[in-house]
Structure 1
Amino acid sequence: MLLLVMVFISVQTVTAEESCETCHQETANDFSQSTKAEFLECTDCHGTEHNGPGTNEPTEVTPKTCATCHEEKVNEFSEGKHALGWEAMEGVPTYNQMPEAVTDKGCVPCHSIGYIWEDESKGRCDTCHTRHTFSAEEASKPEACGTCHAGDHPHYDMWANSKHGMLYTMESDRAPTCITCHDSHNVITAWGFLGLRPGDQDDPEWYNARQKIITTLESMGPALAPNVMRESYEEWETLREDMIDRCTECHSESYARRELEKGDDLLREADIAMAHLIDLANLMYKIRVIDDKTRFTIYREGTAHRFSAYMGGFHNSPKYAWDEGYLALAQTLIGERDAAIQHVFNSAGIVLGIIGIVLISFYWYKNRT
């Protein structure tokens, strides 16, 4: 009798352990490759409510679930910018104006890294640690970042175009990767995503240009995102010193400071060019050469090139610092200027057109000085 009871318990245990695999074979195969399979069961994360077809839904796995074992990492993540990804997306006016079919495929897959759950926790750990292997090694690879750090902020391509990326392609382990400089969970940089900081009143040209950019980015949405800019110059300086510490793991301090200052200088030039483009777009809108949607498109194109310029500079990518960045921004600026002049000629005739050119040139000179 005792033997029968033991056999029954044994069979029941095996059945319970294998019941998930019956319906979720591929998921179970993935999980079997995870180190977590050595000490976790499916029910540890998904609960016991779902135990077969037609039963209750499994418990949602949120960062609070992950914090049971990874409290330190979850806390680090919650302090970084990725945890704010969902709020940043919802703060952009055009997100709410676009069809859901577009945003579900074009916005949500990346910004869900900061998804806000019903339990008020933020984040989706499986954005980087994909289900169900949840590999730390996989998440540490630059390729894991490439899916989202693309488009008008192609950090992955910038890095790949740099000496760091070249070394990674050829020798892998010898090269610094994304997390070498940016940590793995608390991803915060001095200049932030938008390349903005307080201060610099001692450089009026740059300061005034930046105020125009902030106003424009607020109207577009990105500058409304939480924690998008450092609150003080002192905070910016602290984060800059953190980056110097990272750089000096491989480079001399003098080299690291010099290269980062070059990035600052490029950002300044890109900001001034962007401010001229903003002024020109606003003038064209004011004299009814363009409508508000076209002005927004000019803003967005200029912003993308500005991103490429300064982000390319800090990632040491000549292609993005120049070709996709400052050069493209300058070409956009010149193209819009020429379009404005052509419109004046077409609308007013040669004499008034010449007067218009003089006025535009004066406006241009005034805003440059």
Structure 2
Amino acid sequence: MSNGNIVATLLLVAAGTLAFAPAGGAAGTKKAPLKLSQEGKACLGCHESQSPSFVKDWRESRHAAKGVDCYSCHRAEPTDVDAMKHYGYTIAVLVTPKDCGTCHPREVKEMTGSHHAKAGDILNSLDNYLGEVVGGPEAATVGCVQCHGAKVKVLANGKLDTESWPNTGIGRINPDGSKGSCSACHTRHSFSVAQARQPEACGKCHLGPDHPQMEIYNESKHGILYVAKKEQLNLDRRSWVVGKDYTAAPTCATCHMGATADQPVTHDVGTRLSWTLRPPISKKLANADQNRAAMKDVCSSCHSAPFVDGHYKQFDELVELYDSKFATPAAGIMKELAQRGLIKPVEFDKKLDWTYFELWHHEGRRARHGAAMSGPDYAWWHGIYDVSKNFYTEFLPEVKELAGPAVYDELVQKYLAPDLRHEWYTKGMSKEQLDRIKKYYQERYGEKVQ
């Protein structure tokens, strides 16, 4: 925009001749003008033609109705690290949780203490080693950090470095020191609560071979009901209490964040989790009982207590099966191989490193999340089936090839032999075991097994 056009625009604003009414009304319908700041009106004077789509999104938002305009969120102090001069105003391109916290302090406080805000910690993890070193930083930029978040760098003129921007990763590390990105869930510039309550909002990051929560949800009864009853969920209501404002079709937000008759909405997505299923061996959280009670409260809005208790019993037993039968012995074997100098930590220079990584990072997580979210196909075929197949036919044979028969036999005796569940592999199936299996099937299905 030329200087002449800028001056003309500002003169029009000052004279009050620009109409800033919400879009979408019928022709000729008069609507009260939005109560905007002079700075905000100046912003619209340019962006109305330059960026019409996000202006329309904003016009239809609750922010617009409340008089929260462009300048309300993007204004900056000259001393801010990402401050930049923009047609006579001092602004920042990036709107951070610290900025949002001016009006939404409780939500930002909860989010800042959540797992979401810590998602950027992956920058110091094995996953990041794979992305940055084994794969390449360019892949990590458009892959890993777009979900987990990047440390956003600022250039000397206040503009954002394209090596780290654009980025709306949920654990983004912002120039002002805050962590997170509200727009990861409440997409700008409408910042719709209805959109954030839908499972698709979570599906940007929670899917794929290592944590397919979106796919598991879609195959679960919850996901099936969501598709059937989406129009009845009242997603845009201010009050959104399960059992009161909507029923029978929970979304991710319902279970992990949503309000019930007895607890308020929360932006800390970890307060209802009893296990952490991310690491090689699952761990119960320190406040697992309290968290589980909070989640059970959500479940009880739609299910009876025996149903909820039965689900958790089955879930816990699957996690403990994975942990004790596969994860603990595999981790012990890998640790001993490293101590003997047969493998190097975090090198991925041997096939065994990749096999073990996928055993827990992909297959093991799929099994555990499948059980947690009532996704049977992921609990078994994409989960424990893959875990067991690759444990017995890839992981252990690769250990034997790398360590040699003598060391391998020693490790098997230490980590597998004490557990009778591995006996079929270490000793072979006995006639008595085969007979027990046949009897089981005959009693369960009433059929003779050949």
Classify the TM-score, shorter chain.
0.7 to 0.9
- For the residue of structure 2 that corresponds to 1:132, the secondary structure is coil
SS of 1:153's partner is coil
How many residues end up aligned between the 2 structures? 324
**Alignment-mate amino acid for residue 143 of structure 1:** E
Give 1:312's match in structure 2, choosing from 362, 370, 373. Answer: 370
Corresponding letter in the other structure for 1:101? E
Q: Distance in 2 between matches of 1:364 and 1:297?
A: 21
Compute the TM-score of the two structures, normalised by the length of structure 2.
0.64
Pair 1:9 & 2:15 matched: yes
**What does residue 275 of structure 1 align with?**
328
Change (3 A) 1:56 1:317: same
1:105 counterpart residue number: 142
Q: Is 1:213 the equivalent of 2:281?
A: yes
Normalised to the residue count of structure 1, the TM-score between the two structures is 0.77
Asked whether the equivalents of residues 165 and 175 of structure 1 are also in contact (C-alpha less than 8 Å), the reply is yes
Q: Does 1:300 align with 2:357?
A: yes
Equivalent residue in structure 2 for 1:144, among 201, 208, 215 = 201
Cα distance in 1 for partners of 2:56, 2:114 equals 32
Who is 1:90 aligned against?
A: 123
Q: Aligned pair 1:337/2:374, yes or no? A: no
2:186 maps to 1:129 = yes
CA distance in 2, matches of 1:284, 1:30: 57
Structure 2 unaligned residues grouped into runs of 5+: 1-10, 19-37, 77-83, 150-169, 234-247, 259-266, 421-450
- Matched residue, 2:48: 21
| CA gap 1:82/1:241 in 2 versus in 1, 3 angstroms | same
Matched, 1:114 2:171: yes
CA contact (8 A) 1:276 1:368 kept: no
**What SS does structure 1 have at the residue aligned with 2:291?**
helix
Per the alignment, residue 75 of structure 2 pairs with: 47
Change (3 A) 1:229 1:307: same
Contact 1:129 1:138 in 2 (8 A): yes
2:288 equivalent to 1:236: yes
CA 252–356 in structure 1, closer or farther in 2 if over 3 Å, else same: same
Shift of 1:162: 0.8
1:60 aligned residue (94, 97, 109)? 94
Provide closer, same or farther for how the CA distance between residues 118 and 283 of structure 1 changes in structure 2, counting only shifts above 3 A.
Answer: closer
Q: What SS does structure 2 have at the residue aligned with 1:21?
A: helix
The 10-residue stretch of structure 1 (266-275 or 24-33) with the greater mean CA deviation from structure 2 = 24-33
Question: How far did 1:277 drift?
Answer: 2.5
Q: Is the Cα contact below 8 Å between 1:271 and 1:306 reproduced in 2?
A: no
Q: How far apart, CA to CA, are the structure 2 residues paired with 1:342 and 1:296?
A: 13
Partner amino acid for 1:20?
A: H
Deviation (angstroms), 1:229:
6.4
**What's the offset of the Cα at 1:56?**
6.0
The alignment's C-alpha RMSD in Å is 3.2
Task: Look up the equivalent residue of 2:202 and give its one-letter code.
Answer: C
Seen in structure 2, the aligned counterparts of structure 1 residues 90 and 285 have a Cα distance that, compared at 3 Å, is closer
Query: Tell me, which stretches of 5 or more residues in structure 1 are unaligned?
Result: 197-211, 215-227, 348-352
Aligned 8 A contact 2:43 2:70 in 1: no
The secondary structure found in structure 2 opposite 1:213 is coil
- Residue matched to 1:183: 257
Alpha-carbon deviation of 1:358? 5.6
2: distance between equivalents of 1:16 and 1:142? 33
Q: Distance in 1 between matches of 2:402 and 2:185?
A: 49
Q: Does the CA-based 8 Å contact 2:274-2:289 persist in structure 1?
A: no
Q: CA deviation at 1:317?
A: 0.5
Of 413, 416, 419, which aligns to 1:362?
413
Q: Is the 8 A contact 1:195 1:310 kept in 2?
A: no
Contact 2:277 2:368 in 1 (8 A): no
Question: In the alignment, residue 113 of structure 2 is paired with which amino acid?
Answer: E
Give the counterpart of 1:170 among 222, 225, 228.
228
SS of equivalent residue, structure 2 residue 104: helix
Residue range with higher mean Cα deviation, 264-273 or 76-85: 76-85
Structure 1 SS opposite 2:176: coil
* 8 Å Cα contact 1:146-1:156 kept in structure 2: yes
Classify the secondary structure of the residue corresponding to 2:328.
Answer: helix
% identical equivalent positions: 28
For the residues of structure 1 that align with 2:354 and 2:256, how far apart are their CA atoms? 31
CA contact 2:198–2:251 (8 Å) conserved in 1: yes
- Which letter maps to 2:181? R
Change (3 A) 1:69 1:263: same
Deviations 1:319-360 (A, max 9, x none): 11111111111011111223445678xx7xxxxx6x788656
Contact 2:186 2:196 survives alignment (8 Å): yes
Q: 2:305 maps to what in 1?
A: 253
